[in-house]
Amino acid sequence: MGLISPSFGDHVRRLRRSVGLRQRDVTARGGPSFVYQSDIERGLRDPHLKKLCTLADALGIGLADLLDETPRPRLSAGAIAFGRELNEQPQPVQAAILMVLRAFARRPPER
């Protein structure tokens, strides 16, 4: 019996689809081969740490997020792209943008 839960393959498939990627896209981004991914998603492989790291990198997420099967709200592709772009900005720019977003989040909706 492997260390990865039986539902891990479904979790990987959901993550991949939530970022709008096909298995071939993940491979093109440096992830495991199409066949290897397919085996993971169908529960036929118990991937080792190096493959998990390359898979997480190709999906644009951290290893902890890949291994955490806790259900999360789905983010749109635009929200994911915004988050990636925000992470590439200098810390003062990130702080300013987040301050503006928080201010809008606290405002009551206009009628």
**Residues 6 or more apart in contact with residue 1 via CB below 8 angstroms:** none
Q: What angle do CA 77, 39, 65 make, to 5 degrees?
A: 40
pTM for this entry = 0.61
Closest to 19 measured CA to CA, from 81, 82, 68, 69: 81
The rounded distance, in Å, linking the Cα atoms of 17 and 35 is: 17
Domains of the chain: 8-67 (1.10.260.40), 77-106 (no CATH)
Could you list the pLDDT tens digit for every one of the 111 residues in the chain?
455 677 899 999 999 998 889 999 999 999 999 999 999 999 998 899 999 999 999 999 999 889 888 776 666 778 878 888 888 899 999 889 988 888 887 777 666
pLDDT of residue 74: 66
